[in-house]
Amino acid sequence: MTSEVENKPVFCTESAKELVKELRASVATGKTKSYEWRLTQLNAMVKMMEEEEPQIVAALHDDLSKPELESSIYEAALVIGALTEIDYCCEDNCSFD
């Protein structure tokens, strides 16, 4: 028997460190604190989840053995729940530093 091995791109440690550095610099500018920025990001996530749902569900099944229905309902519910909580997250007394 011959097994097929997929050539998947590897996310190396150096790439991860560079990405974290870039994201921290972006947060440090303060642009991520505005209501509009957060709402835009959450709406983009919902759109991405709707467009890529079959791939997300397949990955969750392959990696975590999650059933399709559970993945569709639970994962989508998290993002939609975040959208409904955006006002709470943007209160003046909330810190994201």
Q: What is the dihedral of CA 6, 21, 85, 56, to 10 degrees?
A: -10
pLDDT the model gives residue 44: 87
pLDDT the model gives residue 1: 45
Tell me the C-alpha distance between 65 and 62, whole Å.
Answer: 6
pLDDT by residue for the chain (97 residues), tens digit each? 445 556 666 678 888 899 999 999 988 998 888 878 887 887 888 788 788 888 988 998 999 999 988 888 887 777 777 766 766 655 554 555 4
Nearest to 39 by CA among 86, 88, 79: 86
Domain ranges of the chain: 34-97
